[in-house]
Chains A and B, each alone.
Chain A
């Protein structure tokens, strides 16, 4: 089943493609379609693993973002002029220096709708990241990192698991508060378990570090000093080159040398990384292979992004329905068809067989 799986990088490209597409439009119908597509693919293709449950967490987060955006629009007002007043909140008079900020006041339908479109765009982007998380664990993606960056990547992943562990600890300790006869809900309860939770998390991190070290994490191969110095010089020089090149591209005078310096810097940095990889003796166990399926999955995501970008420049009005005056959004046919391309993985990616039910 492992060989048949799709390369995690392909999933991330697909999800990022969908996310890019989401930033190209504010049409709620298109965004809704995009969300439906990602949800369908996630439910058909996700493996039965703890990380695949993160999709629902991302959905909740996206909903929260949407709500916060709407609340801000209500409380702080909206720059969009509007004629349809829904309600008028008492306006808080602010001092002179806070000019341009408004608290309370008129709430218009146009303002709310604009905030809703805007929030929905952000929410769709978040859900796409969630889809990537659910379909391919970040740890699996890590396996495809170049050798020199691997150890840094492990540190990042360990740091990422810190949060879920913390949440589990908080739940356990709040339950334990009940055993002490203290209320297990409320903010005070949360504060009182704070210190023990942090202590526990720290202890676990140290234990994990010890376990990793004892299993050979961070072993280095002997590399001649010359190569070591060359690596350092190439990496540092390359990064400097990248900085200088970017600066050159952005300023008016640097147009001549900008691009060549950037490219040279990039090449030097990459060579440095490749040389640095020789210091770590790591090998990979059953690396994920980039096969035809992965190409299709990645291409479908990229396709959606490209088509919607095209559509956004060809017919901006359809992808950005106006709010002043209020109009009902219509579903533009061609962009909608383009979004459906994102469904491709649901048909090409193999489904994970259900894990046999085994008592654990």
Chain B
């Protein structure tokens, strides 16, 4: 159905080809997952299927790409529209019309299908994607998951034989991601659609793939095989595979179910080395324990290295988080952020109601909840972008929305969802100089931070040319220049591969060990498991759970990380913890 023959793509002005010598054949009805670290050309490969590369992006393509027998060199994207449906990373930039129903019909109108057929297919697609209740709604008012489903639906209605998806679940909460993936699976199984999909969050998708195509590095040859084969050699892999590699299981498990079946011996090995004794059966008896205090007292020596730095010297931490109504601790005076009874209205929507939250120095809090639960609004009100309609917010004693920005940067810094918003200058060096001026910091402060976070970045680089992860690091450096005691991050791992993510995690841990308080809004359960001391769950603007990560996360089927699910009822969160314990 899709055939790549020795395809190389070189963009204008680039030193080398973005992808080189790709040979790939995808038969009809197969779901193929394209994986690889950031910047290896996954998007280029995806774009080449629909003809957008090189017709729209420019550059030169050598070799041949054929889709359903049509050569993309001689067929423009519009002439492939009836066989290929492409959905990019940002559904909003994909929409042409303004309501759900019109959007679903748009592609068919362009192809000139008869009105009766269009009518029938729109109804079918509305049902297939569960959008019937939203048919007349304006697109701009939908949640992220709904928008993603509409975007997929809009390319489905012309009944393309190939579906190309670039990171379809990255921006979605776990439940919405499941929804979208269920639809994709149904298309493959029921309609025989061929799907080529790229996704960084492998833990969500790898078990659905028939085959995996791995781009191991820039310019390297593609490795194609069954998911288990490819995961054994892939530089990027989900935690469940990491656990499988650690335990030496073969073939590698791809799902929690597979892994659990084999994990009996591992669980025995680990028994007694973690906090499972305190966890088993008596959660109430140990409300404050993350697994570690027990590990400390147990004879088997090492406490997980991953956890060690963040735990050091922060005893008050273990007492906090017994619930939103926790009485003020002795250390309460030193709280970095204090939110009491916060309510925020945005237009007709009550975005937050009666939210209480305290964050102490050195503490890392993860805000989780579905799209639109109020996470970003809460971060916005902590940094004074959003005015509370009632209740109070205090950041080290100051009221954020009344504090002049110049002063506020020294108290709290936010890295927004789109780090690019924070960057104005043409070069990294100019950006750093501006950050130093803004924060009234000594000259070179920001550059030094960039050097730490982003080794090897040249001064003259344009922020736009950085990769997603590098841009995030630059924005973080800009925010850190003022050394705010409270750092907020909104969805920091969107678009990051595992390597970039683990670098980010290391930085944030170091910051927390330094005494910075960190609050991050995220859908990434693995990130929360690795990093957060406390998890706060939001739903419809209310705090529905607030407690130590191990407790909140373990008890939730959708927010538990894979390692927790595999090793339950023991309380492990990450592969790194398990690795240390086994040593």
By a beta-carbon cutoff of 8 Å, the part of chain A in contact with chain B is 1-2, 49-51, 137, 139, 154, 158, 172-173, 175-184, 192-193, 195-196, 199, 204, 206-219, 221, 280-287, 355-356, 358-360
B140 CB, nearest partner CB in chain A, Å: 6
Q: List 30 A-B contacts (CB under 8 A).
A: A49-B99, A139-B97, A178-B408, A179-B416, A180-B422, A181-B405, A181-B410, A182-B405, A182-B438, A206-B56, A208-B94, A209-B56, A210-B56, A213-B56, A213-B77, A214-B77, A214-B80, A215-B106, A216-B107, A216-B111, A217-B96, A219-B81, A219-B111, A285-B102, A285-B122, A286-B118, A287-B115, A355-B136, A356-B133, A360-B141
Q: Residue of A at shortest CB range from B426?
A: A195
A347 CB, nearest partner CB in chain B, Å: 23
Q: Are A214 and B86 in contact (CB under 8 A)?
A: yes
Q: Are A181 and B482 in contact (CB under 8 A)?
A: yes
Given contacts A179-B422, A207-B88, contact A216 B405 (CB under 8 A): no
From 208 to 259 in chain B, residues with beta carbon under 8 angstroms from any chain A beta carbon are none
A147 CB, nearest partner CB in chain B, Å: 10
A50 contacts across to B, CB distance below 8 A: 98, 138, 140-141
Q: Are A221 and B421 in contact (CB under 8 A)?
A: no
Contact of A178 among B405, B420, B540 (CB under 8 A): B405
A49 contacts across to B, CB distance below 8 A: 98-99, 138
Contact of B76 among A178, A183, A213 (CB under 8 A): A213
Q: Given A49-B98, A179-B414, list of 19 further CB < 8 A pairs? A: A50-B140, A176-B416, A179-B409, A181-B410, A181-B439, A196-B424, A208-B96, A210-B77, A213-B76, A213-B77, A213-B78, A214-B51, A219-B78, A280-B112, A282-B112, A283-B108, A286-B105, A355-B137, A358-B133
Q: Residue of A at shortest CB range from B409?
A: A181
Contact of A216 among B110, B408, B435 (CB under 8 A): B110
B122 contacts across to A, CB distance below 8 A: 285
Top 4 A-B residue pairs of the complex, sorted by shortest distance between their CB atoms: A281-B112, A216-B81, A181-B409, A216-B110
By a beta-carbon cutoff of 8 Å, the part of chain B in contact with chain A is 50-52, 55-56, 76-82, 84-86, 88, 90, 93-99, 101-102, 105-115, 118-119, 122, 133-134, 136-138, 140-143, 146, 154-155, 158, 372, 383-385, 404-406, 408-410, 413-414, 416, 420-424, 434-435, 438-439, 464, 478-479, 482, 540
Q: Residue of B at shortest CB range from A219?
A: B78
Number of A-B contacts (CB under 8 A): 176
Given contacts A196-B424, A355-B136, contact A211 B96 (CB under 8 A): yes
Contact of A207 among B77, B93, B108, B110 (CB under 8 A): B93
Q: Residue of B at shortest CB range from A357?
A: B348
Q: Are A137 and B98 in contact (CB under 8 A)?
A: yes
Given contacts A2-B136, A181-B408, A360-B142, contact A175 B385 (CB under 8 A): yes
B413 contacts across to A, CB distance below 8 A: 179
Q: Are B78 and A216 in contact (CB under 8 A)?
A: yes
B490 CB, nearest partner CB in chain A, Å: 11
Q: Residue of A at shortest CB range from B541?
A: A359
A202 CB, nearest partner CB in chain B, Å: 12
B76 contacts across to A, CB distance below 8 A: 213
* Complex Cα gap A321–B70 (Å): 72
Q: Which of B112, B142, B158 has the most CB of A within 10 A?
A: B112
B383 contacts across to A, CB distance below 8 A: 178-179
B406 contacts across to A, CB distance below 8 A: 181-183
B111 CB, nearest partner CB in chain A, Å: 5
B169 CB, nearest partner CB in chain A, Å: 18
Given contacts A50-B140, A184-B405, A216-B158, contact A221 B112 (CB under 8 A): yes
Q: Are B438 and A218 in contact (CB under 8 A)?
A: no
Q: Are B416 and A219 in contact (CB under 8 A)?
A: no
Q: Are B78 and A218 in contact (CB under 8 A)?
A: yes
Q: Residue of B at shortest CB range from A150?
A: B109
Q: Residue of B at shortest CB range from A161?
A: B98
Q: Are A282 and B384 in contact (CB under 8 A)?
A: no
* Complex Cα gap A178–B105 (Å): 41
A286 contacts across to B, CB distance below 8 A: 101, 105, 115, 118-119
Q: Are A284 and B109 in contact (CB under 8 A)?
A: yes
Q: Are A177 and B405 in contact (CB under 8 A)?
A: yes
Q: Are A212 and B96 in contact (CB under 8 A)?
A: yes
Q: Are A215 and B409 in contact (CB under 8 A)?
A: no
* Complex Cα gap A213–B78 (Å): 5
B479 contacts across to A, CB distance below 8 A: 179
Given contacts A181-B439, A192-B424, contact A283 B385 (CB under 8 A): no
A6 CB, nearest partner CB in chain B, Å: 15
* Complex Cα gap A356–B137 (Å): 10
B138 contacts across to A, CB distance below 8 A: 49-50
A196 contacts across to B, CB distance below 8 A: 420-421, 423-424
Q: Are B422 and A176 in contact (CB under 8 A)?
A: yes
Q: Residue of B at shortest CB range from A193?
A: B424
Contact of A282 among B79, B110, B416 (CB under 8 A): B110
* Complex Cα gap A181–B146 (Å): 35
Given contacts A283-B118, A358-B133, A360-B142, contact A180 B96 (CB under 8 A): no
A181 contacts across to B, CB distance below 8 A: 405-406, 408-410, 438-439, 482
* Complex Cα gap A324–B406 (Å): 58
* Complex Cα gap A50–B92 (Å): 15
Q: Which of B114, B122, B405 has the most CB of A within 10 A?
A: B405
A54 CB, nearest partner CB in chain B, Å: 13
Q: Residue of A at shortest CB range from B144?
A: A360
B140 contacts across to A, CB distance below 8 A: 50
Q: Are B93 and A219 in contact (CB under 8 A)?
A: no
Q: Residue of B at shortest CB range from A196?
A: B424
* Complex Cα gap A285–B416 (Å): 40
* Complex Cα gap A180–B404 (Å): 11
B410 contacts across to A, CB distance below 8 A: 181
* Complex Cα gap A118–B140 (Å): 39
A53 CB, nearest partner CB in chain B, Å: 10
* Complex Cα gap A280–B141 (Å): 32
* Complex Cα gap A282–B112 (Å): 4
Contact of B110 among A2, A215, A355 (CB under 8 A): A215
Q: Are B372 and A359 in contact (CB under 8 A)?
A: yes
* Complex Cα gap A280–B110 (Å): 9
* Complex Cα gap A213–B80 (Å): 10
